[in-house]
Structure 1
Amino acid sequence: MTEASDSTAARISAAAKAMVFPLALAQFIASYAATNMNVAITTIAEDLGTSVGGIQTTITLFTLTMASLMVAGSKLTDILGRKVCFVAGLIVYGTGALLASLSQGLGLLIVGYSLLEGIGSALLIPPIYILITVAFTDVRSRAKYFGIVSGAAGLGAAAGPLLGGFITSSVGWRASFIVQVLVVVWIIVLSRSRVPSTPPVRPRPAFDTAGAILSAAGLFFVVFGILQSGTYGWLASRADFVIGGTVVLPQGGLSPVWLFAALGTGILIWFFLHVRSRERAGKTPLMSLSLFRSRTANLGLVTQNVQWLTMQGSFFVVSVFLQQAWHYNAIQTGLMLTPATIGILASSAAAERFASRHPQRRMIRVGFLAMALGMVCLLLLARETNSIIAFVPGLLMMGLGIGTMLTASVNLVQSAFPDEEQDDISGLSRSVSNLGSSLGTALAGSALVAAASRPEGAPFTVALVMLVVFALLGLAAAMFLPRERAQEERPAAG
């Protein structure tokens, strides 16, 4: 290799590494937005003169918007280009945060936070993972930088309650949105020089509008149904389900969760039939069905879903326990979760070293096992005591497991596809992860309510045992992951 080519390669490598920081910061702020609002619900409701239920609905709508539009947002990277889509998402997100900070009523808060921040997240998150995948062509270096981005995602989700509680308590809830605006502006400035411009696919594919509507509607109703479990339960409905003053499902009857889940599933089946029809006609669909022909990717997506389910579910259970049983405030609760945050950061930082020594599937298995053992430690050590130290081993082990398997599964799934399919798989991967987050919180909340309704019930124990079972199911899925092919020097397109 000539000296000139060495210099060119060094410049390309340096540019790729410089790109990682704004991408990781964007992932952090998007994950932060999903959890920081939970600690300010009462404060915001009192300030805006609305109900706690109204603010909870606002948070739910944010989750629904982001999850529903992730596949469509990913497809737009083909049409608009990755950097354009990333920056556009940041602009929409920042505008939403600014409007939310100025809201004097629930309506503007919903428009700013639920809709615009949700749409912005759906636009900016898929390009993050696409850009990392195509910039780093071997599994080891890709693991390192996926570790940084995954660590930022876990850190944002775990630190959201702590930072949000601190800002709300010391300055006010509006300041939390102003901070998001400032961070977004900083990312946009950094992106101008650090994130490479990627031209749209030529010829530009036509946007599958019908497919986008069907996928968004299907995901919306599935996630909405899951979130209703907190109000109505999973089996017998805890209350009358009313539409327009008419009782559709009476208390004691079938929970409306299944009504919405069936509706969403039916629309998703319609979506897949639409995609198949469009592919047979030689047209570009919103998402190719070829994504589901990879056994590695299918099992990797299952493990991603279960990982986010167990992570968000366990954080939710621990937070509720500390606030209800120990009467901790938001800041104290966030500080108690610090061992988990340290574990996530430590294992994410070691992702490159792990990838050079162990197959990705082994790290996913170890991660699930560590997650399950961490929750068992919490059950054994923290259940019968009010000692803060008793929480540290379990939370630290959970964090180490989360950081290890999140990075490995993202790397495994993204690396299973060539560069020209990265736009599709990135959106599907993020949708699956968001679905897991929603399901984890909903299942944990339902378990807590169900156990609390019985005199002999121990809500904390019941919910954590359920999550241990899910972690073991994730481990079982990971056991079937096939042996990985060598991918050390896959040429990158673009």
Structure 2
Amino acid sequence: MTGSPATLLRRAVSPARHAGSPRTVLFVMCTGYFLVLLDVTIVNVALPSIGSGLGTDVGGLQWVVDGYALALAALMLTSGTAGDLYGHRRVVLAGLVVFGVGSLACGLAPDVPTLVAARVAQGVGAALLLPGTLAIISRAFPDHAARARAIGVWAGIGSLALPAGPLLGGALTDSLGWRAIFLLNVPIVLVALVWSAATVQESREERARRPDVPGLLLGSLLLLATTYAFIEGGRAGAGSPEVLASVVLAVLALPALAVAEIRRGDDAMLPVSLLRRPAFDAANVAAGIMNLGTLGTLFVLMLFLQSVQHRSALLAGAAVIPLFAPLAILAPLGGRITSRTGARLPAAAGLLVATAGLALLALAVPHASYLVLLPAFLLWGIGMGFLTPAVVAAAIAAVPAERSGLASAMNNTARQTGGAIGIAVAGAVAGQPADETRFVRGFHAVALGAAGLYTAAALLVLMLLPGALIPGGER
């Protein structure tokens, strides 16, 4: 990137010379959104190469993935509020700068601690960027019909990032090495930054809430301590002093967070009035379990495909396309079905179909053919394709219309939090791929555990989600 980070940030916050066309704004915002979601899946396929290149074990690889996920989960709600208060353009462009610098640092990292720190920086940039892209698109398309079409494009581009990640990551890792998956971001971010600074107009809310700093700090502490306990517990054992200390911190942070949010009322990062709505809670719990099971199992799956079945990074990435392609293809159909029938049945059906796919992974053994894995991937992906739009729609429908943005952000935070914890748990359960017998047994336990959680989530949504989408939910 040209110039220091401070110089780029000053350029980013300077006023746009002219407003770009709505389509230009949409394209640039979709570029940023695509990069954020791409980094959720592109890294998994490079994990064995990172491990061998930097000499780290599964615990170190967990931190490489979770460094990004933790920052994204912890800052998602606060960054949306910051955009309302300080301007969405300013926050989005600052996010691009941080994400680009973090990507460059990842690509040049000489060791695992540096790489993890750079991944955290990437996550901070992603958290600044993600909520604002949708807010800017909404402002660029004031007509309701045009806005709906634009948001559909935005969601579709995001869905394409999921199957693109493993395939692109595998190709880059095999041809240029794992560092290329991070360095690829740098020129794209630079173009998006300059183009956005020139064409996106500033927007902010007249009555924006102040950021909930106590909620942010306590929520981040709770998430970090919980993740640390699982990852380091898998490395050093549950009885190690560091793990016990992190458990104590998590236990103390949870009630402290509850008290802080109750005192702040409706201006809290996690408003208690929304959390008292059973349908809203069920949608967010289901969303968290969805990513906990999916990202946790995916973390172990990619190690299984490469370290146990000895596929190349490219072949491993291509192998999971049947998992992610249904999600990208069926999500629009799932959204239409949800709008007609309500979220309860599509969410429950999606969870149960995905359960069947996860359960079939118990048949995966070191010398199993791809035909054994394919039905598991297809069922898992088809279930996710119907589940994802249903839980998002259910969360938004459960709250008053004026709080729909916050509801969407909380649902996204639940997904990112579930994913971070899922990766920590899955790695601790599976252990090191070098111990092949234990690792495969752990892989099966992770997949079956995820299937069990999905079944429990299906029962939860059947009991608590309404049969139709009622805007505003229950009062």
TM bucket normalised to smaller: 0.7 to 0.9
Q: Out of 482, 490, 493, which is 2:466 matched to?
A: 482
Task: Please state if 1:218 is matched with 2:222.
Answer: yes
Partners of 1:165 and 1:331 within 8 A in 2? yes
For 1:95 and 1:338, locate their aligned partners in 2 and report how far apart those are by CA, in whole Å. 30
Q: Out of 412, 425, 429, which is 2:407 matched to?
A: 425
Matched letter for residue 294 of structure 1? R
Partners of 2:234 and 2:427 within 8 A in 1? yes
Query: Quick one: structure 1 residues 170 and 128, their matched pair in 2 at CA, closer, same or farther if it must change by over 3 Å?
Result: same
Partners of 1:375 and 1:464 within 8 A in 2? yes
Partners of 1:150 and 1:407 within 8 A in 2? no
Shift of 1:306: 1.0
Task: Please state if 1:227 is matched with 2:210.
Answer: no
Shift of 1:395: 0.9
Aligned pairs for 1:13-412 within 5 A: 21-41=27-47, 43-44=49-50, 51=56, 57-104=63-110, 109-111=115-117, 113-128=118-133, 155-188=160-193, 191=196, 197-202=202-207, 204-232=208-236, 237=238, 241=240, 248=241, 256=243, 259-279=245-265, 284-379=267-362, 382=364, 386-412=368-394
Query: Quick one: structure 1 residues 355 and 187, their matched pair in 2 at CA, closer, same or farther if it must change by over 3 Å?
Result: farther
For 1:454 and 1:170, locate their aligned partners in 2 and report how far apart those are by CA, in whole Å. 31
Shift of 1:106: 5.3
Q: Secondary structure at the residue paired with 2:249?
A: helix
Query: Quick one: structure 1 residues 43 and 419, their matched pair in 2 at CA, closer, same or farther if it must change by over 3 Å?
Result: same
Moved more, 125-134 or 326-335: 125-134
For 2:133 and 2:334, locate their aligned partners in 1 and report how far apart those are by CA, in whole Å. 18
Shift of 1:368: 0.5
How many pairs does the alignment contain?
449
For 2:426 and 2:439, locate their aligned partners in 1 and report how far apart those are by CA, in whole Å. 18
TM-score, normalising length from structure 1?
0.77
Shift of 1:371: 0.3
Runs (5+) with no aligned partner, structure 1: 1-14, 242-247, 250-255, 489-494
Query: Quick one: structure 1 residues 355 and 447, their matched pair in 2 at CA, closer, same or farther if it must change by over 3 Å?
Result: same
Alpha-carbon displacement from aligned partner over 1:384-439 (angstroms, at most 9, x marks no partner)? 97322232222112111112111221122134334543453344322211121123
Alpha-carbon displacement from aligned partner over 1:157-194 (angstroms, at most 9, x marks no partner)? 55434322321221233332221123333444665688
For 1:458 and 1:401, locate their aligned partners in 2 and report how far apart those are by CA, in whole Å. 25
For 2:336 and 2:203, locate their aligned partners in 1 and report how far apart those are by CA, in whole Å. 30
For 2:127 and 2:439, locate their aligned partners in 1 and report how far apart those are by CA, in whole Å. 43
Partners of 2:322 and 2:381 within 8 A in 1? yes
For 1:353 and 1:57, locate their aligned partners in 2 and report how far apart those are by CA, in whole Å. 38
Shift of 1:119: 0.9
Paired residue for 2:3? none
Query: Quick one: structure 1 residues 81 and 470, their matched pair in 2 at CA, closer, same or farther if it must change by over 3 Å?
Result: same
TM-score, normalising length from structure 2?
0.80
Shift of 1:40: 3.8
Matched letter for residue 216 of structure 2? A
Query: Quick one: structure 1 residues 131 and 415, their matched pair in 2 at CA, closer, same or farther if it must change by over 3 Å?
Result: farther
For 2:431 and 2:53, locate their aligned partners in 1 and report how far apart those are by CA, in whole Å. 28
Matched letter for residue 400 of structure 1? I
Matched letter for residue 33 of structure 2? Q
Moved more, 351-360 or 408-417: 351-360
Alpha-carbon displacement from aligned partner over 1:264-303 (angstroms, at most 9, x marks no partner)? 2422321221232233xxx944442222122221110011
Matched letter for residue 457 of structure 2? G
Matched letter for residue 215 of structure 1? G
Moved more, 395-404 or 318-327: 318-327
Query: Quick one: structure 1 residues 395 and 103, their matched pair in 2 at CA, closer, same or farther if it must change by over 3 Å?
Result: closer
Query: Quick one: structure 1 residues 131 and 145, their matched pair in 2 at CA, closer, same or farther if it must change by over 3 Å?
Result: same
For 2:437 and 2:229, locate their aligned partners in 1 and report how far apart those are by CA, in whole Å. 25
Moved more, 65-74 or 36-45: 36-45
For 1:341 and 1:157, locate their aligned partners in 2 and report how far apart those are by CA, in whole Å. 6
Alpha-carbon displacement from aligned partner over 1:422-462 (angstroms, at most 9, x marks no partner)? 45334432221112112322333333349979889844433
Shift of 1:94: 1.3
Q: Secondary structure at the residue paired with 1:201?
A: coil
Name the larger-Rg structure: 1
Moved more, 126-135 or 79-88: 126-135
Runs (5+) with no aligned partner, structure 2: 1-20
Shift of 1:118: 1.6
Partners of 2:76 and 2:128 within 8 A in 1? yes
Query: Quick one: structure 1 residues 146 and 269, their matched pair in 2 at CA, closer, same or farther if it must change by over 3 Å?
Result: farther
Query: Quick one: structure 1 residues 334 and 446, their matched pair in 2 at CA, closer, same or farther if it must change by over 3 Å?
Result: same
For 1:313 and 1:47, locate their aligned partners in 2 and report how far apart those are by CA, in whole Å. 23
Shift of 1:341: 1.8
Alpha-carbon displacement from aligned partner over 1:320-367 (angstroms, at most 9, x marks no partner)? 332243211221111111111221121123244324433222211111
Shift of 1:228: 3.1
Partners of 1:126 and 1:426 within 8 A in 2? no
Partners of 2:85 and 2:209 within 8 A in 1? yes
Partners of 1:74 and 1:127 within 8 A in 2? yes
Query: Quick one: structure 1 residues 447 and 201, their matched pair in 2 at CA, closer, same or farther if it must change by over 3 Å?
Result: same
Matched letter for residue 74 of structure 2? S
For 1:273 and 1:137, locate their aligned partners in 2 and report how far apart those are by CA, in whole Å. 41
Matched letter for residue 228 of structure 1? E
